[in-house]
Amino acid sequence: MTRAPNASTPTKLTPNLGLKHRNTFGFDAVAEFAYEINSPEQIPAVMSEITSHKQKWRVLGGGSNVILPANLPGVTLLMNIIGQEIISSNSSSTLLAVGGGVNWHELVTWTLENDLPGLENLALIPGTVGAAPIQNIGAYGVEVSDYIDSIEAFDAKEQAFVTLQNEACRFAYRDSYFKQNPHRFIVTKVVFKLPKTWKARIHYADLAKQFSENSNPSPEDMFLAVCKIRTQKLPDPKVIGNAGSFFQNPVVPNEQYKTLIKTYPGLASYPDLPGKRKLAAGWLIDQCGFKGQRMGSVGVYENQALVLVNHGGGTAQDILGLAKCIQDKVHDKFGVSLQIEPNIF
């Protein structure tokens, strides 16, 4: 489904815009040019102008899953489209349309306040709604794709707005059709399908422990538990720069897992697809001695080895250098390759 673009006048262009407060690592970064995108109608004219000048471009939401260099050439589109509304409801589910610039955690809070549970396992994940499906964010046994009905986006290749149903988004672990086609789509709206029948999903170890004496928690109980666990494990970006989990949990064949578990009986892992096993990247990094270690202005968080931090004054080059050291050591010790989760601009 497509609709013709609206020939709206582009929003104001800002040259040399500082982005230090628009990325959770807190890196000093400057956009050569920036556009504030406050409504979908602005996008066609903006993209037409970018195309005519053959400029590089990228979209930046909350900056919670990106590694920004000191200078971003071309145009940076700042996603600020807000708003949420219930567009339909029946006996089995509710469809909720949400703007791409809405803060993710604020949306999760809003859904609970309006008796629309389902997203509580994803509480406190930083970033915006528009970025969530690109990365297919997930936590504690839930992925955002479990609750997405469709996505509206501007297709830069077709120069038209498109609507992609869930199956067309090709969601996978920390992956999607949008991520596979960078610099093509600008997500403007996400339509969530929230089921009326709700059941707590507490099979992940941290939640199972939290509810060991309560097998039937409420959505609010789940929300509070997830917030408590994440707060204990993950640093607040307002206090110390970070992008949350820096590496994806690697998935290995069962044969490799069986070999590893013989040598490392404490290896933390989870079932994945048939014939495969998902390993806990944080455990692997911790076993290599990186937890709490510092390399200049950057380091590994003392309470969670999966999180890399900027102590102040660090750069993208610094954090990627540390990441390379970790990847090399984990591969040498376990024969497992770690993939960086944040997008490298």
Q: Which residues are catalytic?
A: 174, 245, 341
Q: What is the 8-class DSSP label of residue 41?
A: G
What distances in angstroms separate CA 280 from CA 6, 294, 321, one per listed residue?
46, 22, 22
96 with 194: CB under 8 angstroms? yes
Cβ neighbours around 92 below 10 Å, total: 9
Strands 66-67 and 343-344: parallel
Token pair belonging to 245: 């989990």
Q: Please give the full DSSP string across 238-287, using - where no structure is assigned.
A: TTSEEEEE-BPPPEEEHHHHHHHHHH-TT--EEE-STTEEEE-HHHHHHH
Token pair belonging to 321: 């250098």
Q: Please give the full DSSP string across 50-86, using - where no structure is assigned.
A: HHHTT--EEEESS-SSEE--SEEEEEEEEE----EEE
